[in-house]
Amino acid sequence: MDQAKQDAFGSRLTDILNHGALNLALALGYQLKIFDVMADMDKPLSCKDLARAAGLHPRYVQEWLGIMCTGHIIEIHGDTSEASTYFLPPEHAALLIRKAGSGNMGVYTQEIPLLTQTVMARVAADFFKGEGIPYKAYPRFQEFMAQLSHAKHRQVLIPHFLPGVDEGRLMARLEKGIRVCDIGCGQGIALHLMAETFPASSFTGIDNDEPAIAEARSGAAERGLKNITFLAKDAASVQDDPDFFQAYDYITAFDAIHDQSRPLDALKAVRHMMAPGGMFSMIDIDAASNPAENLNHPMGPFLYTVSLMHCMPVGLFDKGRGLGMMWGRDQAVSLLTQAGFRHIQVLEMDHDPFNVHYQCR
Ligand SMILES: C[S@@+](CC[C@H](N)C(=O)[O-])C[C@H]1O[C@@H](n2cnc3c(N)ncnc32)[C@H](O)[C@@H]1O
């Protein structure tokens, strides 16, 4: 036995315990908007002043600050605990607050605690059965996904992503007026943005989660959007529906194919829906299909964990395929090919290094 190797692993496990605890405490701070309050005040604060400004109980805030300063997220100043003040450095705030937009990593701190709270026991039980878990077992997932989408799409979709599609040609077509469909649209954030920006085009969102579709519709109504329709439907069911034959010029799927029970049928549906000369953008997590090739992936353990707790079980449900979020480039290209796409480009995106764009004709 190599003692040095064991010692190194022991200290790594200590880091893991600390970082796991920090993730939970960061998620609480994010949820309770403590980081936003500290960033707005932009000066060292006593625990009492911070608790007052955030509308929280000082004893809880004090314990939380203990985690934040020993975890080096927040700076502590002062010699005695009574005189201590706490400061969130602007460099940390820039990655933790809601105003950070697409740079907001605070929103991601909620993901593991949310999944732990909602399905950990069920996932553990499913290790024995492998039956999968329905979407409705994740009550706050769509709300969380919408927060992610807001953070991600608001600053990126219109100014960076769409201008890169079809070497810039898509933008002119959207401005002129085309028919667009988003598969697995969730609460419709991407479509709301596109429909607002391109009033001459028409937009359809498809998702089989009825509550998400209801939210998407009310979001469109609040914005007064008339060029948008949302349908509560299983994307896979569209593949034989004559009403959808060649009905769309541009089809998107943001992070929405890998957790479908019948992803190949959903992709065949996309092909069925695509008008001649049309284009499909599938945006999905960038990974290799073989875990051995993901050893240097900067978020490998995080993404595999989210997949284990959510994407894979929802994809397994109803005797589904259960691809999981880390299905990777090889499987993605293979499924797209089986669905009938002949021109598949795998495009990396400077503005979004964690996803890849499969641009298909
Ligand atoms: C990870 S979420 C992504 C949501 C949205 N595209 C976004 O970027 O925020 C995946 C979405 O796919 C939807 N979905 C899963 N299976 C589906 C199916 N068979 N048909 C249509 N939508 C499905 C889920 O309800 C969920 O809204």
Find the 154 Cα to ligand 1 centroid distance in Å: 18
Nearest atom, ligand 1, residue 185 CA? 6
Residues in a beta bridge with 281: 252, 359
Overall size of the chain counted in residues: 361
Query: Among 19-33, 154-168, 331-345, whose mean pLDDT is lowest?
Result: 154-168
With H, G, I as helix, E, B as strand and everything else as coil, classify residue 323: coil
Position 103 scores a pLDDT of 85
| Cα-to-chain-centroid distance, residue 361 | 25
| Cα-to-chain-centroid distance, residue 211 | 18
Nearest atom, ligand 1, residue 236 CA? 19
Please write the tens of the pLDDT for every residue from 120-170. Answer: 999 999 999 999 999 989 988 888 888 888 777 888 999 999 999 999 999
Confidence of residue 323 (pLDDT cuts 50, 70, 90): very high
Nearest atom, ligand 1, residue 235 CA? 20
Instruction: Find the residues whose C-beta lies inside 6 A of ligand 1.
Output: 135, 145, 149, 184-186, 189, 206-209, 212, 234-236, 254-256, 259-260
Find the 168 Cα to ligand 1 centroid distance in Å: 27
pLDDT, greater one: 351 or 251: 251
Position 134 scores a pLDDT of 94
d(CA 87, CA 63): 15
Find the 259 Cα to ligand 1 centroid distance in Å: 7
Q: What's the average model confidence in pLDDT over 56-81?
A: 95
Residue of the CA atom closest to atom 13 of ligand 1: 184
Position 148 scores a pLDDT of 80
Residue of the CA atom closest to atom 25 of ligand 1: 209
Please write the tens of the pLDDT for every residue from 224-247. Answer: 999 999 999 999 999 999 999 999
Find the 260 Cα to ligand 1 centroid distance in Å: 7
Position 102 scores a pLDDT of 80
Mode of pairing for the β-strands spanning 202-207 and 179-183: parallel
Q: What's the average model confidence in pLDDT over 317-323?
A: 96
d(CA 348, CA 356): 5
DSSP state of 235: G
d(CA 254, CA 235): 13
Find the 185 Cα to ligand 1 centroid distance in Å: 6
Q: Positive or negative, the Cα torsion across 290, 291, 294, 299?
A: positive
Pocket test for ligand 1, best of 194, 209, 241, 354 (most atoms within 8 A of CB): 209
Indicate if the pLDDT at residue 327 is higher than 90: yes
Measured N-to-C along each axis, helices 3-31 and 58-70 cross at an angle, to the nearest 10 degrees, of 140
Find the 290 Cα to ligand 1 centroid distance in Å: 24
Find the 68 Cα to ligand 1 centroid distance in Å: 35
d(CA 144, CA 44): 31
Pocket test for ligand 1, best of 149, 194, 208, 230 (most atoms within 8 A of CB): 208
d(CA 78, CA 194): 50
Nearest atom, ligand 1, residue 149 CA? 9
**Cβ(115)–Cβ(306) below 8 Å:** yes
Indicate if the pLDDT at residue 81 is higher than 90: no
Q: Which domains does the chain have, with CATH numbers?
A: 3-96 (1.10.10.10), 110-360 (3.40.50.150)
Provide the percentage of residues in the chain whose pLDDT is more than 70: 100
Indicate if the pLDDT at residue 79 is higher than 80: no
Q: What's the average model confidence in pLDDT over 343-350?
A: 96
Indicate if the pLDDT at residue 209 is higher than 80: yes
Find the 253 Cα to ligand 1 centroid distance in Å: 8
d(CA 125, CA 131): 10
d(CA 269, CA 229): 18
**Cβ(346)–Cβ(358) below 8 Å:** yes
